[in-house]
Amino acid sequence: MNERPAREVDAESLREPPGPRADLRSDGRAALEWAASYLERVGDLPVLARVAPGEIRARLPAEAPEEGEPFAAVLRDLDEILLPGVTHWQHPRFFAYFSVSASEPGILAELLAATLNSIAILWRTAPAATELEGVVLDWTAKLLGLPDGWHGHIEDSASTSTVAAMMAAREATGRNLVVCSDQAHSSVAKGARMLGMELRRVAADPELRMRVDELGDLSGAAAVVATVGTTGSASVDPVPAIADACRAAGAWLHVDAAYAGSAMVCPELRWAFAGVERADSLVVNPHKWLLTPMDCSLLWTRRPEDLRAAFSLVPEYLRTPDAEDALSLSEYGPALGRRFRALKLWAVLRCHGRRGLQEHIRRGLALAETFERWVAEEPGWELCAPRHFSLVCLRMEGGDDRNRELLARVNASGEAFLSHAVLNERFVLRMAIGQASTTEQDVRRAWDALRREGAALAG
């Protein structure tokens, strides 16, 4: 501490900016070539990384280099050191969690957003980013058939969007209780913990929907969180009845449609979202099923003033003369510095268009339907939950341990990557279809791997 720098800065060198540490044209071409060829070959790689914990770290130097290295060295180590430690979320046989394709327009827009490095702490620090965010949220609301006039902004994740909604609900109601079903995503419980709010879980029915008759007295509830497309089985809570109960009790209704919300782009799927138009807030993640790179979580509310009352805290150094007329989205959520996420969503909406987005959702659904049929027709296998979207829950005959072992074997094969849930107290496999590049052949390969490993286990 307090030591003088070893070398003084040469006064001459201050007259010019330092040279770039990577050449955007030549290194950029190489990086783009890397990205393009990765997406072409990712389907040939094992989906799940085949490394032990600590293995990648052990291959990396303990310290940053003293002298700058060429960018080519970064690309080389990406290939040689990091790639073996990548689980390929862009793989056509990535069927775990929820599908998350980052499509090309979004990838390129991320490069441009990083280039601009526009940081929307206030309207004046990023007028274009702020206003484009409003526009793409309005566009998306129209594409999804949401009511006119909702205020929307982008958060990093549904976890943040939900915690923001819960905080606004507490602010608006002066109450401290959050109610959700036992199928709600863990982000609701985590949000309640972060905010010091009490959580009450309501039982789900055998089809994994919140039981409205179990909602109980909501007079002390700040918010009820309903889910359209739960994480475990993509079940759909009865939102209209939950909205009635919220209205009667003066509770805030937050709808978590993080995964399934993108399906509203298809009018024939909007039945599943009945009642969502009565929500006080709604979260949909285009980074899950709408071809947008992580991170892009859309939070709409019909009550922006409550969100603002919960979050607005403008210190002196951020007070500006234009504040009266200009919207600063940092007043509607936890983060001050907000990145230019709207650019990638804008690129995705423009380059795919409504029709392209609809085709993407319908394709995922059609593949899920096909897979569901194969499972239904196969002796010794069962479907474990009603399928509404592109998630199929299944298991083979035998107990939980056999199915756990089956999942481990298929994932270790590298052929496909699935995840699991416990539904109605049984261990089930989740096959979440919906990657942009998945073909029927990919779904077939996963099914073949499941049956092959299943047969080996059954002896």
Ligand X SMILES: Cc1ncc(COP(=O)(O)O)c(C=O)c1O
Give me the residues that bind ligand X (CB under 6 A), please.
97-98, 157-159, 185, 187, 227, 229-231, 256, 258-259, 285, 297
Nearer to ligand X, 90 or 285 (CB): 285
To the nearest whole angstrom, how small is the minimum distance from the Cβ of residue 31 to ligand X? 27
73: burial class by Cβ within 10 Å (0-12, 13-18, 19+)? exposed
Output the CA–CA distances (angstroms, integers) from residue 12 to 9, 21, 260, 381, in the order listed.
9, 19, 58, 75
Sole residue written with tokens 């009490």: 198
Nearer to ligand X, 348 or 449 (CB): 348
User: d(Cα 95, Cα 324) in Å, to the nearest integer?
Assistant: 48
Instruction: Tell me how crowded residue 397 is: count the other CB atoms within 10 A of its CB.
Output: 12
To the nearest whole angstrom, how small is the minimum distance from the Cβ of residue 188 to ligand X? 8
Phi first, then psi: give them for residue 228, nearest 5 degrees: -110, 105
Q: Residue 454 pairs with which residues in a beta bridge?
A: none
To the nearest whole angstrom, how small is the minimum distance from the Cβ of residue 184 to ligand X? 8
- Please list, in sequence order, all residues whose beta carbon lies within 8 angstroms of the beta carbon of residue 250, skipping any fewer than 6 positions away: 173, 219
Sole residue written with tokens 């947008």: 292
Chain CA centroid to CA 130, Å:
21
To the nearest whole angstrom, how small is the minimum distance from the Cβ of residue 155 to ligand X? 8
User: d(Cα 34, Cα 403) in Å, to the nearest integer?
Assistant: 38
Q: Is the CA virtual torsion 392, 398, 403, 406 positive or negative?
A: negative
To the nearest whole angstrom, how small is the minimum distance from the Cβ of residue 455 to ligand X? 31
Nearer to ligand X, 97 or 139 (CB): 97
To the nearest whole angstrom, how small is the minimum distance from the Cβ of residue 232 to ligand X? 9
Nearer to ligand X, 230 or 328 (CB): 230
To the nearest whole angstrom, how small is the minimum distance from the Cβ of residue 106 to ligand X? 16
Q: Which two tokens stand for residue 44?
A: 């040939």
Output the CA–CA distances (angstroms, integers) from residue 46 to 50, 429, 447, in the order listed.
8, 19, 16
User: d(Cα 341, Cα 48) in Å, to the nearest integer?
Assistant: 28
Nearer to ligand X, 155 or 453 (CB): 155
Nearest Cα neighbor of 280 from 312, 324, 310, 235 is 310
Q: Are 419 and 411 in contact (CB under 8 A)?
A: no
Nearer to ligand X, 227 or 281 (CB): 227
To the nearest whole angstrom, how small is the minimum distance from the Cβ of residue 347 to ligand X? 20
Nearer to ligand X, 269 or 327 (CB): 269
To the nearest whole angstrom, how small is the minimum distance from the Cβ of residue 180 to ligand X? 11
Nearer to ligand X, 136 or 299 (CB): 299
237: burial class by Cβ within 10 Å (0-12, 13-18, 19+)? buried
Nearer to ligand X, 155 or 415 (CB): 155
To the nearest whole angstrom, how small is the minimum distance from the Cβ of residue 162 to ligand X? 7
Q: Lay out the sheet containing 177-181: strands in order across.
A: 151-155, 297-301, 281-284, 252-256, 221-227, 177-181, 198-202
Nearer to ligand X, 227 or 292 (CB): 227
Nearest Cα neighbor of 214 from 240, 181, 184, 255 is 181
